[in-house]
C-alpha cells in the first residue's frame, strides 16, 4: 500500500521552522521591536486596517460590485514575477494618463481591458482565452513584454475552468469554504495547482502560500469595504512572502542577510524556487512579521489595556506600499530574483 504523503507545515509554522535552522538570514529582535513601535504609533490609522486594501488597489473596480471579486481572482492568479531583467527595460502600462510598472502593470492592463469591453473578469471568457488574446490584454506600452506570458495563460485558464466547475464566479467558489479564512486558503490550494507554493527544507515539507493567502486577504478587503468583513480565522494568515517585503524588513533592521548572501544578491544571481537561500529569505520574513505582530500586540496590551486587532495580513498591507514608496532609499538592498508562478 502506498504511504500517504504528509501535508506540509502551514505557513506560520514553516516560517518558525526555517528561522530556527536558517544559515544566511536572521530575524533581528531589536529591529523587530523598532518596527513594532513604528506600527504602534499608527495603530489607530486607516493604514493599519483592511480599508488600506483600496489604497493599495486603486485600479480595482468598486468593492461594492461583484466584478471586483472576479477582478481580484484574475489579478491574484497572475500576480507573480514582475521584476525586470534590466532595470532600464521594464514593462509599462499606461491607464488614464498614469504609467505603471511592476505589479501595477497587471492591474492597469486588466482594468484597461475592461474599459475596452473585453470580458476579462468573466470566468466563461478567461477560462478559454487564447495566448494571443491574453498577450493583447497584457500588452506593454514599450518593447519589453510582461514576463512569463505562457505561464500566466496556463494558470489563468486553469483557474477559470475551476471557477466554471464551481458556480462560474469567484464568489460561488470561495463560498464553499464557509467564510473561514483558513478553510479558504485550504480550498484554494487544494483546487488550484498554481497556488501550491511549497518547498522542502531540511528534509521537511513546508509551505508559504503567498498568492493563496493574498487572495483571501483581498477577498476580506473587499468584504470589509462592503461592511461584511467579519471573517473567522483571519489570524491564520501570515505575511505574503515575496521579494519586496523582505527588502523592507532588511531596510528597517528587522531582518539581516549574511555577507555571502548579500553579495550573491548584489550580483543578481538567479535563485531557483526551492533553493535553500530563497526559502530562508521567505521563511524568515514570515517569522519576522509574526514577531513584529506579537510585539505590537504586547505594546497595545501594556500601554492601552486592549487586545490588538492588527493581524499579519494588515502588517503586509502596510509594508508592501511602504517598500514601494521608499524604493529609492532602500535601493542599496537587493531583492532576490526567482522566476516562478508563486510570487
- Compute and round to an integer the Cα radius of gyration of the chain: 19
What the block records as the C-alpha cell of 295 is 510585539
Task: Respond yes or no: is residue 133 known to be catalytic.
Answer: no
The catalytically annotated residue of 218, 242, 259, 304 is 242
Grid coordinates of 72: 481580484
Residue 3, CA distances (Å) to 6, 186, 193, 199 in order = 9, 22, 21, 19
What the block records as the C-alpha cell of 261 is 548572501
Three-class SS state of 322: helix
Please identify which residue in the block is written with the cell numbers 491564520: 236
C-alpha cell, 4: 500517504
DSSP 259: H
Alpha-carbon span 222 to 170, nearest angstrom: 13
* Residue 18 and residue 255 in contact, taking contact as beta carbons nearer than 8 Å: no
Grid cell listed for 259:
555577507
- Alpha carbons 153 and 145: distance in angstroms, whole number: 14
**Cβ neighbours around 155 below 10 Å, total:** 21
Q: How far apart are CA 185 and CA 64, in angstroms?
A: 23
C-alpha cell at 227: 461592511
CA distances for 107 relative to 43, 97, 277, 316, angstroms: 29, 15, 30, 19
Span between the terminal Cα atoms of the chain, in Å: 36
Burial of 172-192, coded b for 16+ CB within 10 Å and e otherwise, reads ebbeebebbbbbbbbbbbebb
Active-site residue list: 242
Amino acid at each position: 500500500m502506498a504511504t500517504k504523503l504528509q501535508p506540509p507545515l502551514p505557513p506560520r509554522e514553516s516560517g518558525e521552522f526555517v528561522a530556527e535552522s536558517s544559515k544566511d538570514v536572521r530575524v533581528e529582535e531589536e529591529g523587530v521591536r523598532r518596527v513594532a513601535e513604528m506600527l504602534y504609533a499608527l495603530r489607530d490609522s486607516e493604514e493599519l486596517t483592511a480599508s488600506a486594501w483600496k489604497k493599495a488597489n486603486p485600479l480595482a473596480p468598486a468593492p461594492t460590485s461583484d466584478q471586483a471579486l472576479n477582478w481580484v481572482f484574475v489579478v491574484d492568479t497572475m500576480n507573480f514575477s514582475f521584476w525586470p531583467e534590466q532595470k532600464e527595460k521594464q514593462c509599462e502600462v499606461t491607464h488614464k494618463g498614469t504609467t505603471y510598472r511592476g505589479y501595477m502593470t497587471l492591474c492597469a492592463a486588466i482594468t484597461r481591458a475592461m474599459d475596452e469591453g473585453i470580458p476579462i473578469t468573466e470566468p466563461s471568457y478567461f477560462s478559454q482565452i487564447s495566448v494571443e488574446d491574453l498577450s493583447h490584454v497584457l500588452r506593454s506600452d514599450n518593447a519589453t513584454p510582461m514576463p512569463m506570458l505562457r505561464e500566466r495563460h496556463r494558470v489563468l485558464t486553469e483557474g477559470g475552468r475551476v471557477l466554471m466547475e464551481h458556480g462560474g464566479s469567484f464568489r460561488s467558489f470561495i463560498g464553499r469554504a464557509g467564510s473561514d479564512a483558513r478553510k479558504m486558503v485550504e480550498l484554494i490550494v487544494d483546487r488550484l495547482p498554481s497556488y501550491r507554493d511549497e518547498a522542502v527544507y531540511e528534509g521537511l515539507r513546508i509551505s508559504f502560500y503567498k498568492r493563496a493567502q493574498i487572495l483571501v486577504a483581498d477577498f476580506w478587503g473587499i468584504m470589509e469595504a462592503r461592511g461584511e468583513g467579519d471573517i473567522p480565522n483571519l489570524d491564520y494568515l501570515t505575511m505574503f512572502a515575496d521579494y519586496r517585503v523582505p527588502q523592507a524588513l532588511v531596510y528597517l533592521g528587522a531582518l539581516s542577510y549574511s555577507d555571502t548572501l548579500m553579495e550573491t544578491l548584489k550580483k543578481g544571481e538567479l535563485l531557483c524556487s526551492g533553493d535553500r537561500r530563497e526559502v530562508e529569505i521567505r521563511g524568515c520574513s514570515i517569522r519576522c512579521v509574526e514577531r513584529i505582530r506579537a510585539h505590537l500586540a504586547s505594546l497595545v496590551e501594556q500601554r492601552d489595556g486592549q487586545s490588538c486587532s492588527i493581524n499579519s495580513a494588515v502588517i503586509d498591507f502596510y509594508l508592501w506600499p511602504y517598500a514601494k514608496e521608499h524604493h529609492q532609499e532602500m535601493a542599496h538592498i537587493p531583492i532576490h530574483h526567482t522566476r516562478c508562478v508563486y510570487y
